[in-house]
Structure 1
């Protein structure tokens, strides 16, 4: 069984579309664990309606805002599934996402962490660009120092495998996925991406504002720690400062530079 985990904070605009995309999966052997992180918009009302009408959904209502990292770890702690699937409250999973990922994991039992290709969509659901990532483990590890080689919300991973490294590091409120990938790589866990577009990743007008200077400093710090874990040669540590450099350029130039991103 899959345990789908999602954290929600003021996500009313896209929440129904996100939840429905999980409920409408062709693969139905899952539970859906949602942490409502003290939302002040209509998210709470929306979630209560879903919880009342869908037995697969379990909603936990936080009494204080804990942030994504702690919510994900708390959801994993109560998960009953052998597999954990990520989902964000503003994205969309294609109907065959779980079916395709579970078919692959059943056939390739050595894989611990499995992602997919995805499409970036705007606030209206229009595709803005395709997001490809390395497919094979060796190529994923090669990209890891430069860019995140797995799109976090597309992931399904083996709960038992990630338990060996303690899941998400609560020290990080952002970029917690990248930090976990470094630890997973250093522990010898096996990555793979399915080269199918099974996910739609929301990149709306608030996308750049969420990646502020503090976010980029945090990203740089965890990269430096990650490089030590994977024993990256010292002269390649310059990769860690790419996020800081990008944060110093105007948004218009940043969007042009994104076109150079190989993913």
Structure 2
């Protein structure tokens, strides 16, 4: 079985060398490393040119104009020729046994569309933060179980994943997916198409969380909410109806997502028009009275009340998750 590692990138040259070198240093080598540069304006092109001189397996694709996350990821993965395809964002990097361990899991479980593992979260300087572990037991998860789990969100520790290429082909890669939350949309589509997944509870990669001085991530909130709507509207609800499963649980979960996302209305960074667009998107995700109440709460500066409750519940869930993980290990 051959492995391709796909690295979509945009203006992250300061991290790109570490990402690529982490692939070169694998205990089981990748057949190819494909970097798709989404028309970066920093020195990414120079960095890649230098690396290509001593890494014969490195292939570089460059977009003539910026196409966004989903299209760049799609192009990068479609260029892969390996049996298994790793998506690695350019600010993250792999532990040395990532390919060895996850390729073995995919070979062992032919019904799995992808393999994923626990990750170590790091900051922009590489300092270790928290470990990201899933509460589920390691091993294979069948498609029906994965589809049920998907309604609560993207069920991976981080978006550093090894896919089976034939599974990506079956769902047309990332074509037509939202330009944000495209990873969640893809994983839900794979479950809806009848594929399972397999999880390794050992930490095999490093996921970077960095400070966004320009608040770019916050300003993507409208895209995130719209993307969540598309996951439910385009993937989960049709799949549930096809299986004759009840959809009331999806309606409740849409409301839960909308209420949680409404906190952005208290950030005081949006223009009135942007706030109106976000409000419309939230109500599109869930038209419930509960959603409208949370929109009002956050829009009127009272978000500290539900936020305090959410933080308490997150600490409680984290404690329970750690206990469950220890019990299953």
TM-score, normalization by structure 1: 0.89
1:190 is aligned to 196
Residues 1:137 and 2:141 aligned together: yes
- In structure 2, relative to structure 1, the CA distance for the partners of 1:186 and 1:122 (3 Å cut) is same
Distance 2:91 2:316 in 1: 25
Distance 1:260 1:141, change over 3 A: farther
Q: Which residue of 2 aligns with 1:229?
A: 238
Q: Counterparts of 2:70 and 2:44 in 1: how far apart (Å)? A: 19
User: CA RMSD for the aligned pairs?
Assistant: 2.6
Task: Quote the residue 2:152 is aligned against.
Answer: 146
Whole-Å separation in 1 of the counterparts to 2:122 and 2:27 = 22
**Mean Cα displacement is larger for which, 102-111 or 236-245?**
236-245
Unaligned runs of at least 5 residues, structure 2: 241-245, 269-303, 322-329
**CA apart distance, 1:105:** 1.9
Correspondence list, 1:60-99, <5 A: 60-99=61-100
Deviations 1:182-239 (A, max 9, x none): 2111111111211110111101112974143223322332232233133262242323
Deviation at 1:140, TM superposition (A): 4.3
Distance apart, 1:152 and its partner CA: 5.2
- Specify the alignment match of 2:217 in structure 1: 210
8 Å CA contact 2:23–2:30 kept in 1: the answer is: no
5 Å-filtered alignment, 1:1-263, equals: 1-133=2-134, 134=136, 135=138, 136-137=140-141, 140-151=146-157, 153-206=159-212, 209-212=216-219, 213-225=221-233, 226-231=235-240, 233-234=247-248, 235-236=251-252, 237-248=254-265, 256=311, 259=315
Q: For the residues of structure 2 that align with 1:132 and 1:229, how far apart are their CA atoms?
A: 30
Q: How many residues align?
A: 263
8 Å contact kept, 1:146–1:239: no
Tell me which structure has the larger Cα radius of gyration: 2
